Amino acid sequence: MEGPELLRLWVLAALALGGSQATVLDHHVLPDLRLSAETGAIFVHELERELFLEAFPGSEDDDAPVTFRAHLWDHPDLPRWLRFTQRDPGQPGFLYGCPLGPELGTHSIQVLAYNRHTFATVSQRLLISVTPAPGGDAPFQAEFLVGNRNVEELLPEAAREMFLQASAGVWERGDLHIINVTSALDRGGRVPLPIEGRREGVYVQVGSHSPFSPCLASAVSPQSRSRCHRGQRPLASCYDTFAPHFSIRWCNLTLLQVWPSPTTPGPLWGSGELEDGGGFEPPTEVVPRELLPGFLVTLLVPLAVAALLCLLLGHLMCCRREGVEKRDLQTSDIQLVHHSSIHGDTRELRLMAGSRDVPRPLSTLPMFNVRTGQRINPMPGPRDGARVPLLPQ
Ligand SMILES: *[C@@H]1O[C@H](CO)[C@@H](O)[C@H](O)[C@H]1NC(C)=O
Ligand SMILES: *[C@@H]1O[C@H](CO)[C@@H](O)[C@H](O)[C@H]1NC(C)=O
């Protein structure tokens, strides 16, 4: 089949699959979206399916499955601090992560939405500007393991608010904020069995500027830890305000106190332009190094040693050789006679063997019958060789 015809068929097939002629090969671009994030606090952006479903060109299907992809603008991957999750094409996607000091600045992310019914795509550029947190990093951090949630169920705003209210109940402080949300699978957790109600588990890191409450402190006390090791519940000195929405694994609670590290003065960034009058001065030239002595030493010393060894060996082999005469002088005459007679006999036998003219022993010939003396050609004849008896009857 010719190339153009093949291409036409392919396009027709794509049209038929797509269902709608207008949407195939169509790509729509949504206006840029500016978002802001603070260091040391969770950033969550929900990719709503509805927004992208409306934008799909010529789409009347209001419930089409949508798959999202996200990556840095002009780069294949996301920045290190940002993660993406979407459970399945019927669910929204989430971009989430906790930026830190090195991530200050603007991050440009491209989101691609892909309609799995019509193959149409929509893209959007997100400009996330990361600013420093006004109060600095929270020095008191607690990490809870929520056993009955998947990570995307704790990312929506409402769920995070509910979690903060519940944690305010055990921490007894008002300035709590969520620092990080991580699926337990990312920390070596196991994929749950596909049973209704089983979830992966989520680690939620909560930060505050005020110290831990006695309740939290008692949950990580040595007594509680040893009870955990024996498989019992840790000591509870207060009411679990997380129940019944969130089931906290109290044995996996971690409390962390971060001391603000003294900031080391880094290099000061200028404007990127040289000041007036300050011409660029290239580094001074390097003095050419003297390499000859090193070269001679590496080459000459091994050569000299090798030559010395050669001379020594030559002297030993040529001038110190004592030879056959000395050996003969030291050997008794009777032994010498014995030796030379053996030599002579052997040489004679060899000569005789070379010129012998007797037929080869029969046993070295092929297929010799001892009784009849008959010989058979071991190579099968033109007939079926497998049926020829080895010994004639
Ligand atoms: C947030 O959690 C992820 C995954 O565990 C980790 O890689 C990242 O360093 C955490 N960020 C902060 C600020 O703790
Ligand atoms: C919770 O902590 C226990 C030990 O106290 C550990 O064996 C278990 O793996 C932890 N669970 C998760 C999901 O990290």
DSSP secondary structure letters along 135-166? T---SEEEEEEETT--GGGS-SHHHHHHHHHH
Q: Give the number of other Cβ atoms within 10 Å of residue 191's Cβ.
A: 9
Atom of ligand 1 nearest to the CA of 99: 13
For the segment 326-334, the average pLDDT, to the nearest whole number, is 87
Confidence of residue 1 (pLDDT cuts 50, 70, 90): very low
pLDDT, greater one: 298 or 134: 298
* pLDDT tens column, 212-256: 998 888 888 898 899 999 988 887 778 888 888 899 988 989 999
Does residue 197 carry a pLDDT above 70?
Answer: yes
Q: Which residues line the pocket of ligand 2, CB cutoff 6 A?
A: 145, 184, 189, 201, 228, 249, 251-252
* Of 33-47, 306-320, 368-382, minimum mean pLDDT range: 368-382
Report whether residue 186 contacts ligand 1, using a CB cutoff of 6 Å: yes
User: Could you tell me the CATH superfamily of domain 25-131?
Assistant: Immunoglobulins (2.60.40.10)
Residue 75, pLDDT score = 92
- DSSP string covering 158-217: HHHHHHHHHHHHHH--S--EEEEEEEGGGGTPPPPPS-TT----EEEEEEESSPPPHHHH
Give the Cα separation of 165 and 274 in Å (integer). Answer: 53
Instruction: State phi, psi for 102 to the nearest 5 degrees.
Output: -65, -15
pLDDT tens-place string over residues 55-90: 887 767 778 899 999 999 999 999 999 999 999 999
pLDDT at 268: 64
Residue 188 CA to ligand 2 center (angstroms) comes to 10
Confidence (pLDDT) at 9: 54
Query: By alpha-carbon position, which residue is closest to atom 11 of ligand 2?
Result: 252
Q: Tell me if residue 352 falls in helix, strand or coil.
A: helix
DSSP character string of 260-290: PPPPP--PPP--SSPPTT----PPPPPPPP-
In DSSP terms, 122 is beta-bridged to 28, 113
Q: What's the full length of the chain, in residues?
A: 393
Residue nearest to atom 8 of ligand 2 (CA): 252
The residue whose CA has the least distance to atom 14 of ligand 1 is 180
pLDDT of residue 141: 93
The DSSP call for residue 1 is -
- CATH 2.60.40.10 range(s) for the chain read 25-131
CB 152 within 8 A of CB 91: yes
Query: What span, in angstroms and rounded, lies between the C-alpha atoms of 106 and 205?
Result: 24
Of 153, 133, 131, 128, nearest to 78 by C-alpha is 128
Distance of CA 253 from the midpoint of ligand 2 (Å) = 9
- CA separation for the pair 250, 165 (Å, rounded): 17
